[in-house]
Amino acid sequence: MSDEPLAFSPDHFSGIARVFPLPNLVMFPHVMQPLHVFEPRYRAMLEEAVEDDRLIALGVLAPGWEAHYEGRPPLRSTACLCRVATHQRTDKGTYNVLLLGVRRIRLVRELPPKKLFRLVESEIVDDEEPSEVPQGEVIQVQQRLLAAFKSVLPKIPDAFEQLDQLLGNQITLGMLSDIVAYTIDLDLEWKVRLLTECNVLKRAAMLLDAIAGNSTPFRGRTFPPEFSLN
């Protein structure tokens, strides 16, 4: 297994994203996701990434992808740029990979199909923190979101203590909203909207509305989440 430093700078990104499209997973910055990579085109993608900048974008397939999965079905316009944290080659030539989400990216234009996998010209989208909003108000929203998150966590021993230890006092509202958005079991369209929304106050408000209107968003998940293999 290969482990690499996880630090990321936008200077590391060329703007050309290797896109791994998924039908039912929306990845967010600041979280980790394991994948089992077995299709030849995505094995080739991973191998190139590991030899280059260690970056892969997890994208979301647009509706109607089922009829064209083996080709190049349309993608949603926003994806999550990820860094390969660890990768392990199995005896069968497949890979077990752990990805860390690092930034939102906007997909601008797909490049001609010269490789097995898809390459898309893209640009990094940074979080927007409205400067006109007092910091005290931002902190209040963050406290409300954390309390709402705790309210829907399964009542398991030490869950809140784990949450406080993981999030600590240094986390920003943008980071917290991404962790919550990834963890809670909302439907795909909600998650896509949350990934697309770069205004952190609007994203937090969407999450507060979603949690208030959904009595069982976790459906048995624990915290930290039990990441599913894909």
User: Is the pLDDT at 201 greater than 60, yes or no?
Assistant: yes
Shared-domain flag, residues 103 and 199: no
Q: What pLDDT shows up at residue 212?
A: 86
Residue 99, domain member (yes or no): yes
Shared-domain flag, residues 153 and 188: yes
Residue 224, domain member (yes or no): no
Percent of the chain clearing pLDDT 70 (strictly above): 80
Structure tokens given for 160: 């809140």
Residue 230, domain member (yes or no): no
**When comparing pLDDT for 167 and 201, which is higher?**
201
pLDDT tens-digit readout, 82-105 = 999 999 999 999 999 999 999 999
Helix (H, G, I), strand (E, B) or coil at 191: helix
Domains contained in the chain, number: 2
Residue 220, domain member (yes or no): no
Residue 152, domain member (yes or no): yes
Residue 56, domain member (yes or no): yes
Shared-domain flag, residues 103 and 153: no
Structure tokens given for 230: 């894909």
Answer positive or negative: Cα dihedral of 199, 129, 209, 217. Answer: positive
Shared-domain flag, residues 184 and 121: no
Q: What phi and psi, each to the nearest 5 degrees, are found at residue 95?
A: -130, 140
pLDDT tens-digit readout, 8-48 = 888 889 999 999 999 889 999 999 999 999 999 999 999 99
Q: CATH code at 16?
A: 2.30.130.40
Shared-domain flag, residues 94 and 178: no
Domain final residue pick, 125, 143, 166: 125
Shared-domain flag, residues 71 and 103: yes
Residue 78, domain member (yes or no): yes
Shared-domain flag, residues 110 and 46: yes
**Residues of the domain holding 166:** 135-213
Residue 117, domain member (yes or no): yes
Full-model pTM: 0.85
Determine the Cα–Cα distance for residues 108 and 194; give it in Å rounded to an integer. 19
User: Is the pLDDT at 169 greater than 70, yes or no?
Assistant: no
